[in-house]
């Protein structure tokens, strides 16, 4: 993963609990900026990262003993690669959900309060890869770093 990545990789591991995930996401985002993640992509990366990590905490480790979430971020030439691994339950059907967003509905009481996580991840990434290997989930998110302007 490091071969074409001039700016190197950074790794962070934290317990799969909401408070640890919250501070872990903030730390990763700050360190990515220090490592040269362009400002115009920083917000998108943070949103997608948070949704993917929250999914691990809320779903992969639901009803099983929570262990760690391991995140490796590699800043390559035009691409940021983020690998998120955990030892929780596999994704249903062994593939990432399509991420069809919740319907807004027509009244306030009908408004959805969730169901946007995978939609946001898919909107903000160039590519998503998932595999189950040796009892681990490995989710890779690829972000395009080229300046749209």
Binding site for another protein (CB under 8 A): 18-19, 21-22, 25-26, 43-44, 46-47, 50-51, 54, 57-58, 101, 104, 108-109, 111-114, 116-117, 119-120, 123-124
Shortest separation between residue 71's beta carbon and another protein, angstroms = 15
- Tell me whether residue 116 or residue 130 sits nearer to another protein (CB atom): 116
Measured distance CA(30)–CA(6) in Å, rounded: 19
Query: Which residues, other chains included, contact 3 with Cβ-Cβ below 8 Å and sequence gap of 6+?
Result: none
Shortest separation between residue 9's beta carbon and another protein, angstroms = 23
Shortest separation between residue 29's beta carbon and another protein, angstroms = 8
* Residue 54 near residue 117, CB atoms below 8 Å: yes
- Return the number of other C-beta atoms located less than 10 Å from residue 18's C-beta: 9
- Tell me whether residue 49 or residue 74 sits nearer to another protein (CB atom): 49
Using alpha carbons, select from 30, 130, 122, 36 the residue that is nearest to residue 79.
36
- Tell me whether residue 76 or residue 118 sits nearer to another protein (CB atom): 118
């Amino acid at each position: 993963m490091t071969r074409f990545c001039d700016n190197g990789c950074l790794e962070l591991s934290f317990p799969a609990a909401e408070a640890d995930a919250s501070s872990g996401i903030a730390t990763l985002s700050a360190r990515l900026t220090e490592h040269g993640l362009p400002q115009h992509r920083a917000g998108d990366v943070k949103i997608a990262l948070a949704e993917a990590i929250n999914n691990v905490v809320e779903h992969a480790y639901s009803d099983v003993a929570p262990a760690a979430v391991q995140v490796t971020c590699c800043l390559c030439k035009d691409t940021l690669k983020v690998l998120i691994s955990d030892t929780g339950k596999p994704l249903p059907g062994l593939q990432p959900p399509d991420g069809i967003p919740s319907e807004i509905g027509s009244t306030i009481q009908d408004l959805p309060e969730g169901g946007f996580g995978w939609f946001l991840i898919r909107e903000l990434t160039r590519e998503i890869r998932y595999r189950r290997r040796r009892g681990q989930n490995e989710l890779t998110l690829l972000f395009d770093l080229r300046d749209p302007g």
